[in-house]
A and B are shown apart, each in its own frame.
Chain A
Amino acid sequence: MMLPYLIIVPLFGAFALPIISLAGKKARELWAVLITAITLGVAAELFYTVWKGGEILVYTLGAKSPLGNGVPFPIRIVWEVDLLGAIFILMVAFVAFVAVLYSTEYMRHDTGLEKYYALVLLLEVGMLGIAMTGDLFNFYVFMEIMSIAGYALVAFRNDTWEGIEAGIKYMFVGSIASSFILLGIVLLYGQYGTLTMAYLAKMIAENPTFTAKVALGLLIGGLLFKSGAVPVHMWLADAHPAAPSSISAMLSGLVIKIGGTYALARMAFSVFSTGIDTRTIGWVIILFACATLIVGNAMAVIQTDMKRLFAFSSVGQIGYILLGTGIGLAAYGSDVGNIALAGAIYHTVNHAVIKALLFLVAGVVIHQLGTKNLNELSGIARKMPVTSFAFLVGAAAIIGLPPMNGFASKWLIYESSALFNPLVAVIAVIGTAFSLAAYIRVLFTFLGRPSERVMKAKEPGKAMLVPMLLLVAVIILMGLFPWFISDRIMIPAAKMLENAGTYISAVLGGA
Chain B
Amino acid sequence: MNRRSEQSEMGLIVKTTARATIPLIGIFGTYIVSHGHLTPGGGFQGGATIAGAGILFLIAFGFGEMKRRYNHHLYSALEGLGGLVFLGAAMLGLGVAFFYNTLWHSGPFFNGQPGTLLSAGYLPIMNLAVGLKVFAGLVSAMVAVAAYRRWKE
Contact = CB atoms under 8 A, between A and B. Distances in A.
Interface of A: 4, 7-8, 11-12, 14-19, 22, 59-64, 114
Contact of A63 (B84, B87, B94, B96): B96
Chain A binding site: helix, strand, loop or mixed by DSSP?
Answer: helix
A19 B87 contact: no
Nearest to B94: A4
B100 A19 contact: no
A15 B79 CA distance: 8
A59 B97 CA distance: 8
A72 B76 CA distance: 45
B12 to A, nearest CB: 38
Contacts of A16: 80, 84
Contacts of A14: 83
Given A18-B79, A60-B97, A62-B101, 5 more contacts: A4-B94, A7-B98, A18-B77, A19-B80, A19-B81
Contacts of B73: 22
17 contacts: A4-B94, A8-B87, A8-B98, A11-B87, A14-B83, A18-B76, A18-B79, A19-B77, A22-B73, A22-B77, A59-B97, A61-B98, A61-B99, A63-B96, A63-B97, A64-B96, A114-B76
B91 interface: yes
Given A17-B80, A18-B77, A12 B87 contact: yes
B98 A15 contact: no
Nearest to A79: B98
Contacts of B94: 4
Contacts of A61: 97-99
A4 B81 contact: no
A112 B143 CA distance: 16
Given A18-B76, A18-B79, A22-B77, A4 B84 contact: no
Contacts of B98: 4, 7-8, 59, 61-62
B2 to A, nearest CB: 30
B84 A15 contact: yes
B100 A15 contact: no
A263 B101 CA distance: 31
B92 to A, nearest CB: 12
Contacts of B99: 61-62
Interface string B47-84: 00000000000000000000000000100110111011
B90 to A, nearest CB: 8
Interface of B: 73, 76-77, 79-81, 83-84, 87, 91, 94, 96-101
A42 to B, nearest CB: 14
A387 to B, nearest CB: 37
Nearest to B73: A22
A63 to B, nearest CB: 6
Residue from B96, B97, B100 whose CB has the most chain A CB atoms within 10 Å: B97
A15 B83 contact: yes
A15 B130 CA distance: 12
B96 A15 contact: no
Nearest to B75: A18
A277 B86 CA distance: 44
A14 B76 CA distance: 12
A417 to B, nearest CB: 42
Given A19-B80, A19-B81, A8 B96 contact: no
A64 B105 CA distance: 14
A22 B81 CA distance: 13
A62 B87 contact: no
Contact of A8 (B80, B91, B101): B91
Given A11-B87, A16-B84, A64 B79 contact: no
A63 B76 contact: no
Contacts of B100: 62-63
Contacts of A15: 80, 83-84, 87
A12 B80 CA distance: 9
A64 B95 CA distance: 10
B48 to A, nearest CB: 18
Which residue among B76, B80, B94 has the maximum number of chain A CB atoms within 10 Å of its CB? Answer: B80
Nearest to B83: A15
A365 B81 CA distance: 39
Most chain B beta carbons < 10 A, residue from A16, A18, A19, A60: A18
A18 B136 CA distance: 12
A4 B73 CA distance: 30
A18 B83 CA distance: 11
A64 B87 contact: no
Contacts of A18: 76-77, 79-80
Contacts of A59: 97-98
A456 B17 CA distance: 65
A414 B88 CA distance: 50
Contacts of B97: 4, 59-64
Contacts of B83: 11, 14-15
Contacts of A7: 98
Nearest to A21: B76
Contacts of B79: 18
B149 to A, nearest CB: 11
A19 B74 CA distance: 9
B121 to A, nearest CB: 11
